Amino acid sequence: MPQRGMQTAPDQKKPLAQLSQDQREFLDRALRVNQAGELAATLIYTAQTPPLLQSHPNLRSLMKHMYDQEAGHFATFNKLLAKHRVRPTAMYPVWKAAASILGWSTGVMGREASMACTEAVETEIGNHYNGQVRELFRWMQEIKSRGEEVDPELEELINTLKRIRDEELEHLDHAVENDAKQAQPYAPLTNVIRYGCRGAIWISERV
Amino acid sequence: MRHVPTHGFSMRALTEGAKESGYLEVSVQLLPRGVFDLINYHLVTQRLALKDRVQFPKDSKLGAGEKVRTLTLERLRANQDIIHQWQGALGQMSLLGNIPASLKELHILSDEIWYLSGDTSVDTSWYTKRASLAALYASSELFMTADASKDFAATAEFVDRRLEDFQKVGKTVGGLGQFVGFWAGNTIHLARSWGMRV
């Protein structure tokens, strides 16, 4: 857990804000879930790409671009978890298997299904990150209203999460542009995936 | 703690210590878990002292395994003043009410040693590494309580043998994983080369 002590920033009069135990636990859970999410995202793209490119080789550069961004997010969260000594989720091998199966089966189902899968996952993830950014932003407001200095690490985290959220929403837009909405059992497919994501997020926060 | 070598981890040590610090004997009633609090104090202070006792230079060429070995041995050595009383302490720690706290301390110690040895893995191996080190440390500590060799050389050898065992197990499991993964990948690639849409 990050040890944030009460210190006076060198040339300023305001004391550095210390996070409460609840806030630390929130960050602990948030980082754990985010890492699990990015692990799943990279595996979904890895599994989707080969069957998808067999029928639609023109999607190669798009898939590579999305994969590279997810891999970058994954690396970011891995570093954060190691730095702040956060426990990774115990469901790691389960999510690995589940994400690979999801990616492979939507890849085999075709372009529209793959894009619908991406659309569903990114919608949930976008909401999820947005919620975290809102919560951290609220903390920042509270700290400022108490007249304390915001820890630069906290600000950096908020900016990182905002950037990642924006990139995920960009993937959502790409998916919709590529006819995600034309996927054939559209409602069942997206609902199953969205509820699956919510369940996975809930479990990873706790286990 | 000064009284522990003579009186063991007992109420006697606590009351002697209280008297010496100028407190009334009855003030030891303030400690909710009695003797276990004394044991816990020793465990926590020695764990926190680890990072001060062992400092690896920044450009150290030691592998993670080496660092883990050094840290574990150093933590074991921290017990040497009270090792003759430690069997009693282990007995206390295994009382039903104390087990959760003892296990938690063991886990935190294992996490601390891995962290200090520079481990940054955050996948499933996070769990396996800490579990195996906890088992290793617990068995080595028990061994040390009966070790009469000079400078606890026998304990050091015990630790080395256990570390070797864990490496062997790790290699076997890793090898098995690679084997299965290779054949799974092979099957899929073969199917694709036959034109199957897999």
The enclosing domain of B120 has a CATH number of 1.10.357
| Residue of A23, A25, A35, A19 whose CA lies nearest to A79 | A35
Asked whether residue A142 is marked as a ligand-binding residue, the answer is no
Instruction: Please tell me whether residues B95 and B184 are part of one structural domain.
Output: yes
Residue A5's pLDDT is: 46
Mean pLDDT of B129-137: 92
Instruction: Please tell me whether residues B16 and B56 are part of one structural domain.
Output: no
CB contact B112 to A (< 8 Å)? no
Rounded CA separation B185/B191 (Å): 10
This model of the complex carries an ipTM of: 0.81
Mean pLDDT of B49-67: 82
CB contact under 8 A, A51 and B197: yes
pLDDT one-digit tens code per residue, B165-184? 888 888 888 888 888 888 88
pLDDT one-digit tens code per residue, A130-173? 999 999 999 999 998 988 888 899 999 999 999 999 999 999 99
Asked whether residue A122 is marked as a ligand-binding residue, the answer is yes
Instruction: Please tell me whether residues B53 and B84 are part of one structural domain.
Output: yes
Band (pLDDT 50/70/90 cuts) for residue B140 is very high
Question: Mapping DSSP to helix (H, G, I), strand (E, B) and coil, where does residue A189 land?
Answer: helix
Instruction: Please tell me whether residues B134 and B72 are part of one structural domain.
Output: yes
Rounded CA separation A113/A121 (Å): 12
User: Using alpha carbons only, what angle is made at residue A174 by residues A172 and A176, rounded to the nearest 5 degrees?
Assistant: 70
Instruction: Please tell me whether residues B176 and B134 are part of one structural domain.
Output: yes
Instruction: Please tell me whether residues B47 and B60 are part of one structural domain.
Output: yes
Instruction: Please tell me whether residues B53 and B124 are part of one structural domain.
Output: yes
- Residue B198 in domain: no
Highest mean pLDDT among A10-24, B3-17, B54-68, B174-188: B174-188
pLDDT one-digit tens code per residue, A22-53? 999 999 999 999 999 999 999 999 999 998 99
Tell whether the model's pLDDT for residue B111 goes beyond 70: yes
Cα dihedral A69, A73, A78, A83 in deg (nearest 10): 130
- The number of domains in chain B is 2
| Residue of A113, A128, A116, A110 whose CA lies nearest to A176 | A116
Residue A140's pLDDT is: 92
Q: How far is CA A77 from the centre of its chain?
A: 9
Query: B193: nearest CA in chain A?
Result: A54
CB contact under 8 A, A108 and B111: no
Residue A13's pLDDT is: 64
Asked whether residue A119 is marked as a ligand-binding residue, the answer is no
- The residue segments making up the domain with residue B62 are 35-193
